[in-house]
Amino acid sequence: MISRFPPSFADSPLNYAFAVFSLTLVSAVSISIIAGYLMEPRRQRQIECLLQNAIPGEAERVKQWRPFEMWGLGRATPVAIFRLVVSLFLTTLTLGALPDVIWLLAWGEAGDRTMATLFLLDRWCDGFTILPFTAGVVVLWRSAQVMDQKLVSDALTVSILPKWSTIRDKLNMVLLVGLIASLAALYKAYPS
């Protein structure tokens, strides 16, 4: 009988749960941040539409769809450059972690053909991580001088320690991912 856990976990539900938890959390947080960046222009357009009567000549500009503005592909503000670099690095993490989550959850449940396809997908995604990583590094190198000058010129101090309200809002995702990982490990450890 095939083991319910991949061989590298030595039949340990705890190791399996921790791997599924961490990889799923990395993927979920990365996708969440990227989706937030994608939704930002829409939110800004909605606010601008509410204010369009107060700003003469803005009605036509507000109607234009600007999907890549938040990543600096229309104009390169420091915020856009930051978001582009972060998005590219988070895409690298997601390409590396999400296929692993999929095959870890499918281990022992799916057929050999499906597992072979999932392993192939994992290998391809691992190889493709070089694309967003390289793009992120190039943008970072390209913008380093400007960003350094801008960050130094606007001496803004930010508290690194988050407030409880910020942590509480994100804690739901962590708890949900932890619950899913624990249930998956228990299901595999004690099959019916």
Q: What is the pLDDT of residue 53?
A: 54
The helix (run of H) or strand (run of E) holding residue 187 is helix 164-189
Identify whether 70 is part of a domain. yes
Cα dihedral across residues 28, 31, 34, 37: positive or negative: negative
Has residue 4 been placed in a domain? no
- Tell me the CA distances in angstroms from 5 to 16, 87, 137, one per residue in order: 7, 32, 36
Among 21-25, 63-67, 105-109, the least confident range: 63-67
DSSP designation for 8: G
Which range scores top for mean pLDDT: 54-58, 74-78, 100-104, 171-175? 100-104
> Does 119 fall in a domain?
yes
**pLDDT single digits (tens) 170-181:** 888 889 999 999
* 75 belongs to a structural domain: yes
Is residue 16 within 8 Å of 185, Cβ to Cβ? Answer: yes
Residue 84 has pLDDT above 90, yes or no: no
Phi then psi for residue 37, to 5 deg, are: -65, -40
Query: What pTM, to 2 d.p., does this model score?
Result: 0.77
What domain range includes position 149? Answer: 11-189
* The amino acid at 83: R
Say what the pLDDT of residue 19 is: 92
Q: What is the pLDDT of residues 40-51, one digit of tens each?
A: 776 766 666 666
3-state secondary structure of 1: coil
Is residue 2 in some structural domain? Answer: no
Q: Establish if 164 belongs to a structural domain.
A: yes
Q: What is the pLDDT of residues 2-42, one digit of tens each?
A: 677 888 888 888 999 999 999 999 999 999 999 988 887 76
Domain count, the chain: 1
Calculate ∠ Cα 103-30-9, nearest 5°.
30
pLDDT tens, residue by residue, 131-164 = 999 999 998 888 887 777 776 666 667 677 778 8
1 is a domain residue? no
